[in-house]
Amino acid sequence: MRSLAAGMLLEEALGARKVGAIFIGKYGKPRVEDGPHFNISHSGDYVLLAVNDAPVGIDIELWTDEDCSALADAAFHEDERALLGRSPSARSFFDLWTLKESYIKMLGTGLSTDTKSFKVIIEGDAARIDTDPDVRLYLSHILEGYSVSVCLRNR
């Protein structure tokens, strides 16, 4: 159902003609030739679509009570792990995860990028990447029990 919803969102945002002209990039990120940039994410009951005239990444995650410490050890910068140690909660983990995921999705490299190689610095509802000052990340909890993040190049 989420895949169907994603297709419907794309058709609504891009038009049927553009949806038929989607290509897959080197690392699996879909794109439209000579069209707007877009990115899709889904989790739980929701599917989100971000469309922009420049590269964009979006991620949504439903908070769970699962122990994510092994994933944090494998994917988070040491400073992010320290932050989680001071504030250990599902919300804190998924806030960091969605911010990092939206960044690598915006880059179009996905998990081929070492997620430990950069640090997310959260500043209220916005965030930044320590190694890439030209991007801005936005964090939202508009959907109860979910972390939602969007990443854009500064323009």
107-131 pLDDT per residue, tens: 998 888 999 999 999 988 889 999 9
The CA distance from 146 to 127, in Å, is 17
45-91 pLDDT per residue, tens: 999 999 998 899 999 999 998 888 899 999 999 999 999 999 889 99
Q: Where in the chain are the domains? A: 2-153
CATH of segment(s) 2-153: 3.90.470.20
